[in-house]
Amino acid sequence: MIKKINPKLANALGIVTIISWGSLGLLGSEAASLPPLFVLAFCFWGATLIGLVIVLIRVKSGAPLPSVSLNNAVLGGTFLFGYHYLYFSAFHFAPAIEVSLLNYLWPAFVIIIGNLFFSLKSGIRGVIAALIGFSGIVVLFGSNVAAFSQPDYLFGFALALAGAIVWATYSNLRRNSSGDVVFMVTAICAIAASLATGFSWMLEDQSYPTNTQLVTLILLTIGPAGGAFFLWDVALKHGNAAMLAVFGYAAPLISTGLLIASGLADLSLRIVLATLLIAAGGLFTIKLPRLFKSKKATKVTN
């Protein structure tokens, strides 16, 4: 069955995804004592299971089993695994705040790479919007930017920057892809899970999570490192993804807000100013209703 996806609904799903990513800091810190590749494997296999359950329910209701391009699944799975591996590895070589700052260049790279290689055609306005949003991140991290002058951290910074480029490229690839969203993302997660599992067995000492860690892993799987992949795919294909790219800068801001709520950080004028700049960058793109839409943006298979 072919069903139209309302762009406003798609944008709402994208915003929910970004909010979910904002919880990654707290949840990730809870899982930090576990091997990172093991965490990725758990989350990716969990996301695969979520997708398979949805597909099974649809098939039992009479919907035909959709087809999937193996080449696209392998490419997407490699990018998905590659981004998360680069991101988590960067924390072992450089301070967390600076790694996060560089990683959150991905919204700007979505627009820049999209313009250069994926016919995004956002024009100068989209680039300016991305820069406005990124200025909010610079303000958010304030004086910590000075740490980029430390040569000992260069490898970690390179990993974080590479991760941002990989995620932006993945987002553009998914925007331009065709086929059933749920089935394709499920296949992508299965490929990423297989890669994470294989590398975990080769490179890490195997351990078992405690009950508390298991709850954290389940929350990660349902949210920012699992279920969010499906929502983001729909949002990219059917919403104003240039606007969502700029609003992607809100994820570290949300993370900071959660840290404030948990008593691990203090509210400051800097955070308020960063919020205003990020919102300004997002609002700057709202008047571009045709931006970042594929030719098949009104169709999705259910």
Q: Which residues contact 130 (CB under 8 A, 6 or more apart)?
A: 107, 108, 110, 111, 112, 245, 246, 281
Domain ranges of the chain: 8-296
Taking each helix axis as running N to C, give the angle between helix 70-90 and helix 36-60, from 0 to 180 degrees, rounded to the nearest 10: 150
241 and 5 in contact (C-beta within 8 Å)? no
219-278 pLDDT tens trace: 999 998 888 989 988 888 888 877 787 777 777 778 777 767 766 556 777 777 876 776
**Amino acid at the residue 156:** G
Q: Which of 94-98, 126-130, 222-226, 275-279 has the highest mean pLDDT?
A: 222-226
Residue 61's φ and ψ, nearest 5 degrees, are: -85, 0
Percentage of residues in the chain having pLDDT higher than 90: 21
Residue 219's pLDDT is 92
Distance CA 51, CA 113 (A): 29
CB-neighbour burial class of residue 61 (10 A; exposed 0-12, middle 13-18, buried 19+): exposed
Dist. CA 171–CA 173, nearest whole Å: 5
What tokens does 51 get?
């997708």
Q: Give 202-264 as a DSSP string.
A: HHS------HHHHHHHHHHHHTTTTHHHHHHHHHHHHS-HHHHHHHTTHHHHHHHHHHHHTTS
